[in-house]
């Protein structure tokens, strides 16, 4: 664990994605290989990760009465799909391949340590706590690590 919020934020992100997880959504990690001088090609390795997240929105673009294409918006949890994800990767959903065109936002913890703990509070200054009574900390107390723990990412993908 890198930051105080790792104790609750990681499991919360996974629980939210699990609530709406689609078995029809797969994440395809694409890794380019070595250049083969004899054939003039680069081999590509595809790793398929099934049930990668939750599709939250399907959109169909249209301009001047002409269909421009379909897009989906999905949340990918990083317990299932290890960080980092890229726009080089693809989604497989409902029998179609989808090119990832945007990754925004990504939620995680870590990085620069802070100088003091900052707690999430109500407007009247009362600390907001988890069900078991632990205060929710927005920013750590300076003892944090520079490593990141990524919880979930929102991706937008266009049908190929």
Q: Two tokens at 88?
A: 């080089």
Q: How confident is the model at residue 6 (pLDDT cuts 50, 70, 90)?
A: low
Query: Is residue 148's pLDDT more than 50?
Result: yes
Residue 108 resides in a domain: yes
The mean of the pLDDT values for the chain is: 78
Rounded mean pLDDT, 19-37: 87
Q: Two tokens at 73?
A: 């918006």
Residue 41 resides in a domain: yes
Residue 75 resides in a domain: yes
Provide the β-strand partners of residue 77: 152
Q: Which domain holds residue 24?
A: 6-159
pLDDT, one tens digit per residue, over 67-116 is 667 899 998 888 888 888 888 999 999 889 999 999 886 666 655 444 45
Residue 119 resides in a domain: yes
Residue 1 resides in a domain: no
Q: Provide the pairing of β-strand 137-139 with 148-159.
A: unpaired
Residue 21 resides in a domain: yes
The per-residue pLDDT for 108 is 66
Number of domains in the chain: 1
Q: Two tokens at 122?
A: 């109500």
Q: Which helix (H) or strand (E) holds 8?
A: helix 6-19
Residue 101 resides in a domain: yes
Q: CA geometry: angle at 17 spanning 13 and 19, to 5°?
A: 120
Residue 104 resides in a domain: yes
The per-residue pLDDT for 107 is 65
Gap between the Cα atoms of 138 and 144, Å rounded: 12
Gap between the Cα atoms of 74 and 155, Å rounded: 5
Using only C-alpha atoms, what is the Rg of the chain?
Answer: 20
Side by side, the strands of the sheet bearing 96-110 are 41-49, 25-36, 90-93, 96-110, 148-159, 66-77, 53-63
């Amino acid at each position: 664990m890198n930051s105080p919020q790792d104790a609750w934020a990681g499991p919360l992100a996974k629980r939210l994605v699990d609530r709406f997880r689609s078995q029809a959504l797969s994440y395809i990690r694409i890794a380019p290989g070595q250049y083969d001088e004899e054939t003039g090609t680069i081999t590509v390795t595809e790793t398929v990760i099934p049930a990668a997240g939750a599709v939250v929105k399907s959109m169909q673009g249209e301009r001047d009465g002409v269909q421009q294409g379909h897009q989906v918006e999905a949340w990918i949890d990083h317990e299932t799909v290890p960080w980092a994800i890229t726009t080089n990767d693809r989604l497989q959903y409902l029998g179609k391949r989808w090119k990832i065109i945007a990754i925004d936002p990504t939620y995680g913890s870590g990085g620069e340590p802070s100088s003091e703990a900052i707690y999430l509070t109500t407007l009247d200054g009362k600390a907001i706590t988890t069900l078991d009574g632990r205060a929710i900390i927005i920013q750590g107390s300076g003892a944090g690590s520079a490593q990141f723990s990524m919880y979930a990412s929102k991706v937008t993908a266009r049908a190929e």
